[in-house]
Amino acid sequence: MPNKAIAFNQSLTSLSVEDLKARIQEDELRLKKMKFAHAISPLENPMSIRQFRRDIARVKTELKKRELTK
């Protein structure tokens, strides 16, 4: 599992700041829809919500890191 996180973080380095912001917006909307769908009828894999939330946090961390290095 850590290898997936490392690969995800490396894929973020190639994105621009605007791309990161757009990705955060899209992912937060998808997470909201996923939570809503889970409330209506349970998801097949509810742990995917946790993983998705962590991916959003990784993107936000990368964005903050870039803003601090400017």
- The pLDDT tens digits for 4-51 are 888 888 888 888 999 999 999 999 999 999 999 999 999 999 999 999
1 — pLDDT class (breaks 50, 70, 90):
low
pTM of the model: 0.86
Q: Which domain holds residue 56?
A: 2-69
Q: In the 8-state DSSP scheme, what is residue 36?
A: H
- Tally the domains of the chain: 1
Residue 14, domain CATH: 1.10.287
How far apart, in Å, are the Cα atoms of 26 and each of 1, 21, 69, 70? Answer: 24, 9, 25, 25
CA distance 20 to 8: 13
pLDDT in the model for residue 3:
80
Provide CB contacts within 8 A for 15, sequence distance 6+.
23
Closest C-alpha to 48, from 61, 35, 57: 35
pLDDT score for 51: 92
pLDDT at res. 14:
86
